[in-house]
Structure 1
Amino acid sequence: MIWVLLVGAIAAEVVATSLLPRTQEFRALRPTAVVLALYAAAFVLLSRVLLELEVGVAYALWAGLGTAAVAVIGMLVLGERRSAGKLTGLALVIAGAVLLNLSGGGR
C-alpha cells in the first residue's frame, strides 16, 4: 500500500508542476487553486509514506521520478526540445531511483 501512496504523491506533484504555467503567475484563480490542492495532496501523501520508508529513499524516488515525469511531459506534450544529454540525464535519474529502492529503504 505504501507504494500506491508514493505513486499518488508523485502523480499529484507531477500534475501540479505541469499545470503551473496555466496559473499565469498565480493570477488565474481556478488553475492556482488546483495547483495548490495538488501540491498539498502530494505532501500529505509523502508524509504518510515517510512513516514506512526512509526519508532519503522516499524523497529521492518522489523528486527523481517526478522530475523525470515532468521532463518527459515537457518533451511529449509541451513541445520542449529533446537532446541526447537530456535523455541521458533522464536515464540516470531513473537508474538512481531504482538503485536507491534496491538498497532497501524500509524502516
Structure 2
Amino acid sequence: MTLRPWLYLLAAVAVEVSGVTLMKRVADSGALAPFLFMYALIGLSFYFLALAVRRLPIALAYAAWETLGLACVTFIGLRYFGEDLGPAKALGLAALLVGVVLVSIGAPEAQGE
C-alpha cells in the first residue's frame, strides 16, 4: 500500500477543518470575501478527497475524512469556541471512530499507483 492517497486524505481533512472553522468565524460577518475563501477551502477539500479515492475504497476514505474532520472540529469547538463535550457527543465520536475501524477492516487493500 502506498502512502500518497493517505496524504491526500489528511490534506482533505486539514483543508475541510480550516474551512469549517472559518465558517464559524465569518458566519456573522456578512462579508463576501471570507465566505468565498471558505467555499474555496471546502472545494479544495473535495479535490483532495477525490485524489484519495483514486486509490482508496470510497467508503473507507469518506468515513475517515468525515470522522477525522468531525473529531478535529469538535476539539476546535471545545478549545477555541467554548463548546461543551457532553456524554452523548463523546459517545457519538467514539461510535464514529469504531465505525471507521470496522469499515477499514472490511475494505480491500488500496490500489497501487
Q: TM-score, normalised by structure 1?
A: 0.86
Deviation of 1:64 after TM superposition, in Å, equals: 1.7
Partner residue, 2:93: 90
Q: Which ranges of structure 1 fall in alignment gaps of 5 or more residues? A: none
Q: Does 1:99 align with 2:102?
A: yes
Q: Residue 70 and residue 81 in structure 1: after superposition, are their counterparts in 2 closer, same or farther (change >3 A)?
A: same
Q: Distance in 2 between matches of 1:10 and 1:99?
A: 20
Partner residue, 1:65: 68
- Aligned residue pairs total 107
Q: Distance in 1 between matches of 2:27 and 2:89?
A: 27
Partner residue, 2:55: 52
Runs of 4+ in 1 over 3 A off after TM superposition: none
Deviation of 1:91 after TM superposition, in Å, equals: 1.5
Q: Which ranges of structure 2 fall in alignment gaps of 5 or more residues? A: none
Q: Determine which structure has greater relative contact order: mean sequence separation of CA pairs < 8 Å that are 6+ residues apart, divided by chain length.
A: 2
Q: 2:20 aligns with which of 17, 21, 24?
A: 17
RMSD: 1.8
Q: Distance in 2 between matches of 1:9 and 1:17?
A: 12
Q: Describe the superposition over 1:70-95 as per-residue Cα deviations: whole angstroms up to 9, x where unpaired.
A: 12211122111121221121112122
Deviation of 1:58 after TM superposition, in Å, equals: 1.0
Deviation of 1:17 after TM superposition, in Å, equals: 0.8
Q: Does 1:76 align with 2:52?
A: no
